[in-house]
């Protein structure tokens, strides 16, 4: 049969038809018997349709391949003919192509336009057409269907639909199809799993029985207004599940239309968003709490800043890595720094007195490397006025997530008045001490002369009295020396003169001295070996004497005071231990502070000015050593110790 096609095409092109892409259209107003004979023998599945959309002829392809009687088709309407044709093909049960007549009628005014033909092929894959018009009136339409379409297209489509159906059945997404009146045409099994039998497979759903009363009216208003406008919609509402619990759903409706543009309702998808809603509610609650906390923090910050301003304190935050600082206005004013703009560490140290710059940088270095808190007093020269003032900086180190020092937050206080008062006090103490030193030296000389005469006359009672007087004079001499040393320390005139000496000789000397002065305690040596060190003998003697005096003061009468020393690889370790009540935990960090005295009820009555241990710490620091104090483990008492490099 196919050998006739070339001759048929050639003949039709010369006379009645023009062939283009498997479609034909007639160039005359009538079709004779010979023309129909040629048409019927075409190997293509062709239909000739009149201007009234009735079938004029059908190619033998349809009739032979699908056992159709041409008498069933010719003279009937296009829609009926297509229904009869496709009932014999694999398109059976699918009305998709039966809509061709409706589509053509809706586009009858522009059937000859190229865009209309493209739209037709897109709406009806595998089919094309050509139209013949005379004097703006439709004469014939020739429609062509590919054999591949009839043999396999709808089979593939059916397989795809089966796959999609299986996916819809298995998914947890709630899928439904509703018509243009809101009635359910289809719903997948997920709806039944969610709502049980309350959700019908088809028909009208009683929304008012299941949707939360607060959400019902807004949802229905949105749904019906969308149906009227034929637009997509999206809604969130609470609905009862199969257990009678209200769950939040988010439903999206996408409008669907027929091939000829008629609105047919919606394809809807639904998701249970209850957990998301709960999380949002929790986040909102947390956000509210965070906002409240932020407001409180802001208020607290403002109050703190007000307190700083009232106390004339400045605040500063220093980034350890970049050395950039954020400073309050008061901090800038105290140093004479610019009141606006960035500030760095070099700008700050530019105001520090030259003699104290190394000390200030060392404080920052310890903070940056070890996280050591900042507490430093140093003089500055105001960068604008040049006035000398004393500043005290107190700061705390903040660490990053890895525990490394990250920044320093500090406050600065102008302590110039306090330092002036300290200076006046120290000058007064130095003056008084010097004034007391002269008569004390004279008294000491006279007593020694009287003691010498008493010893020559063998006046035992007088000798005992003179020795006690000399002992008290020594105490007064040490007390005065302590005040003088503090004065020298404050003025930077306390000097260390190092030289070699045997620590064993010094310890024996002090033991004998205490033996004559103190009869209430026993001094016990735990090491008597010789050990040569290089240090200021007089200053180290003062340190050990103060530690022994301190131990005697704070330990019970009749108890022992232990002295121990030894050498490590590069240091002398010296300790003095007693059997007293120990050191209060909250006071451990203060025992070496100047003028510190314990607040313990039992120790408030103990005499002293609180300068002995302070001097010990300063002398050991000047030697480059370390000093410490702690309680003895497992027993009563405290241990004071120091180390010196050797």
Alpha carbon separation from 107 to 98, 116, 142, 179, 426 (Å, rounded): 16, 8, 15, 25, 112
Domain 499-645 class?
alpha beta
What's the pLDDT at 575? 93
Same CATH fold assignment for domains 171-272 and 311-414: yes
Which is nearest to 145 in space by CA: 18, 16, 42?
42
Give the pLDDT score at 13.
36
Higher pLDDT, 333 or 472: 333
pLDDT of residue 489: 61
The CATH fold of domain 171-272: Beta-Lactamase (3.30.450)
More confident site: 1 or 389: 389
Taking the C-alpha atoms of residue 61 and residue 68, their distance in angstroms, rounded to an integer, is 10
Residue 139 — pLDDT band, cuts 50, 70, 90?
confident
Specify whether domain 420-490 bears CATH 1.20.120: no
CA-based nearest residue to 182, from 164, 162, 208, 161: 208
What are the residue boundaries of the structural domains of the chain, listed by start? 2-153, 171-272, 311-414, 420-490, 499-645
Give the pLDDT score at 639.
Answer: 92
Smallest Cα–Cα separation from 179: which of 242, 280, 255? 255
Return the percentage of the chain with pLDDT > 90, whole number: 10
More confident residue, 157 or 415: 415
Helices (H) and strands (E) in the chain, counts: 19, 24
> Are residues 564 and 531 in contact, defined by beta-carbon separation less than 8 angstroms?
no
Q: Which of 347, 325, 326 is nearest to 335 (CA)?
A: 347
Element housing 60 (H / E): helix 60-65
Report, as an integer, the average pLDDT of 144-168.
Answer: 58
pLDDT tens per residue across span 515-547: 777 778 888 888 778 889 999 898 898 899 889
Distance of alpha carbon 586 from alpha carbon 595, whole angstroms: 17
Report the pLDDT value the prediction gives residue 402, as an integer from 0 to 100.
85
Strand-pairing partners, residue 566, are: 573
**Beta strand 405-414 with 388-399: parallel, antiparallel or unpaired?**
antiparallel
Written as six digits, the tokens of 433 are 């001490």
DSSP string, 526-569: S-----EEEE-HHHHHHHHHHHHHHHHHTS-TT-EEEEEEEE-S
**pLDDT above 90 for 4:** no
Report whether pLDDT(93) > 70: no
DSSP 356: G
Q: How much is the pLDDT for 8? A: 40
Residue 391: DSSP 8-state: E
Instruction: Identify the pLDDT of residue 535.
Output: 92
Give the E-state strand segments of 103-136 in sequence order: 127-134
Rounded to whole angstroms, the Cα distance separating 580 from 603 reads 11
Query: In the prediction, which pLDDT does 21 show?
Result: 34
Residue positions counted in the chain:
646
Residue of higher predicted confidence among 357 and 147:
357
Of 203, 326, 194, 294, the C-alpha closest to 248 is: 194
CA distance 333 to 563: 53
Q: Tell me 192's DSSP state.
A: H
Residue 2: its pLDDT value, please? Answer: 34
Query: Among 376, 353, 378, which residue's Cα sits nearest to residue 364?
Result: 376
CA dihedral over 54, 147, 152, 62, signed as positive or negative = positive
CATH of domain 2-153: 3.30.450
Higher pLDDT, 127 or 535: 535
Most confident of 235-239, 319-323, 436-440: 235-239
User: How far from each other are the two terminal CA atoms of the chain, in whole angstroms?
Assistant: 120
Q: Which helix (H) or strand (E) holds 424?
A: helix 416-456
The answer to whether the beta carbons of residues 392 and 331 sit under 8 Å apart is: no
Is residue 495 scored above 70 in pLDDT? yes
Structure tokens at 441: 């030296």
Q: What's the CA gap between 338 and 348, in Å, rounded?
A: 11
- As a whole number of angstroms, the longest Cα–Cα distance in the chain is 176
Q: Does residue 164 register a pLDDT over 80?
A: no
Side-chain half-sphere exposure of 46, counting CA atoms within 13 A: 26
Q: Of the spans 44-53, 258-267, 437-446, which averages the highest pLDDT?
A: 44-53
Mean pLDDT of 192-198: 81
Question: What is the chain's mean pLDDT, rounded?
Answer: 78
User: Would you tell me which CATH number, out of the four given (3.30.420.480, 3.40.50.740, 3.30.450.20, 3.30.750.24), belongs to the domain 311-414?
Assistant: 3.30.450.20
Q: Determine which of 88-102, 384-398, 528-542 has the lowest per-residue pLDDT on average.
A: 88-102
Residue 357's CB: how many other CB atoms inside 10 A?
Answer: 13
Q: In this predicted structure, what is the pLDDT of residue 18?
A: 34
- Reported as half-sphere exposure (CB side, CA atoms, 13 A), residue 560 has a value of 6
Q: Phi/psi zone of residue 191: left (φ > 0), alpha (ψ -120 to 50 degrees), beta? A: alpha
Per-residue pLDDT for 304 more than 80?
no
């Amino acid at each position: 049969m196919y050998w006739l096609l070339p001759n048929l095409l050639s003949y039709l092109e010369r006379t009645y038809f023009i062939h283009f892409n498997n479609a034909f259209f007639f160039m005359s107003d009538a079709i004779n018997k010979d023309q129909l004979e040629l048409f019927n023998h075409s190997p293509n599945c062709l239909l000739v349709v009149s201007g009234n959309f009735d079938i004029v002829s059908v190619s033998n392809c349809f009739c032979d391949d699908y056992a159709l009687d041409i008498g069933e088709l010719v003279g009937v309407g296009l829609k009926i003919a297509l229904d009869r044709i496709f009932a014999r093909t694999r398109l059976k049960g699918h009305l998709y192509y039966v809509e061709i007549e409706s589509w053509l009628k809706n586009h009858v005014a522009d059937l000859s336009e190229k865009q209309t033909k493209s739209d037709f092929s897109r709406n009806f894959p595998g089919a094309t057409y050509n139209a013949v018009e005379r004097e703006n009136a439709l004469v014939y339409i020739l429609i062509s269907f590919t054999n591949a379409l009839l043999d396999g297209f709808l089979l593939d489509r059916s397989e795809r639909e089966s796959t999609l159906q299986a996916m819809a059945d298995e998914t947890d997404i709630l899928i439904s199809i509703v018509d243009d009146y809101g009635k359910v045409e289809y719903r997948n099994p997920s709806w039944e799993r969610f709502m049980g039998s309350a959700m019908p497979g088809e028909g009208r759903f009683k929304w008012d029985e299941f949707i939360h009363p607060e959400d019902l009216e807004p949802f229905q208003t949105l749904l019906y207004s969308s149906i009227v406008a034929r637009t997509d919609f999206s809604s969130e509402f609470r609905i009862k599940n199969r257990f009678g619990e209200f769950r939040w759903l988010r439903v999206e409706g996408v409008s669907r239309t027929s091939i000829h543009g008629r609105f047919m309702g919606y394809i809807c998808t639904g998701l249970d968003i209850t957990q998301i809603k709960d999380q949002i509610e929790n986040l909102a609650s947390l956000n509210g709490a965070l906002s409240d906390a932020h407001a409180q923090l802001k208020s607290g910050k403002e109050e703190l800043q007000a307190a700083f301003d009232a106390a004339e304190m400045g605040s500063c935050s220093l980034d350890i890595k970049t050395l950039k600082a954020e400073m309050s206005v008061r901090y800038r004013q105290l140093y004479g720094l610019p009141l606006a703009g960035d500030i760095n560490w070099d700008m700050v140290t530019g105001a520090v007195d030259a003699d104290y710059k190394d000390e200030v940088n060392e404080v920052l270095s310890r903070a940056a490397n070890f996280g050591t808190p900042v507490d430093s007093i140093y003089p500055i020269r105001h960068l604008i006025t040049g006035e000398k003032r004393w500043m005290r900086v107190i700061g705390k180190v903040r660490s990053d997530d890895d525990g490394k020092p990250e920044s320093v937050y500090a406050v600065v206080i102008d302590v110039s008045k306090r330092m002036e008062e300290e200076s006046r006090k120290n000058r007064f103490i130095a003056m008084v001490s010097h004034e007391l030193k002269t008569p004390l030296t004279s008294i000491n000389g006279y007593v020694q002369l009287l003691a010498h005469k008493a010893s020559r006359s063998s006046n035992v009672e007088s000798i005992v009295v003179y020795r006690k007087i000399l002992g008290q004079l020594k105490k007064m001499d040490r007390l005065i020396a302590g005040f003088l040393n503090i004065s020298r320390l404050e003025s930077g005139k306390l000097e260390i003169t190092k030289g070699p000496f045997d620590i064993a000789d010094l310890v024996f000397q002090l033991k004998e001295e205490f033996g004559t002065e103190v009869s209430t305690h026993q001094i016990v040596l735990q090491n008597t070996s010789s050990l040569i060190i290089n240090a200021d003998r007089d200053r180290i003697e003062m340190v050990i004497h103060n530690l022994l005096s301190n131990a005697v003061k704070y330990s019970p009468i009749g108890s022992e005071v232990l002295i121990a020393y030894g050498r490590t690889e590069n240091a002398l370790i010296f300790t003095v231990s007693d059997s007293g009540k120990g050191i209060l935990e909250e006071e451990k960090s203060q025992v070496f502070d100047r003028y510190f005295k314990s607040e313990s009820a039992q120790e408030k009555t103990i005499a002293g000015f609180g300068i002995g241990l302070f001097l010990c710490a300063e002398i050991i620091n000047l030697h480059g050593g370390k000093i410490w104090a702690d309680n003895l483990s497992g027993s009563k008492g405290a241990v004071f110790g120091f180390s010196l490099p050797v």
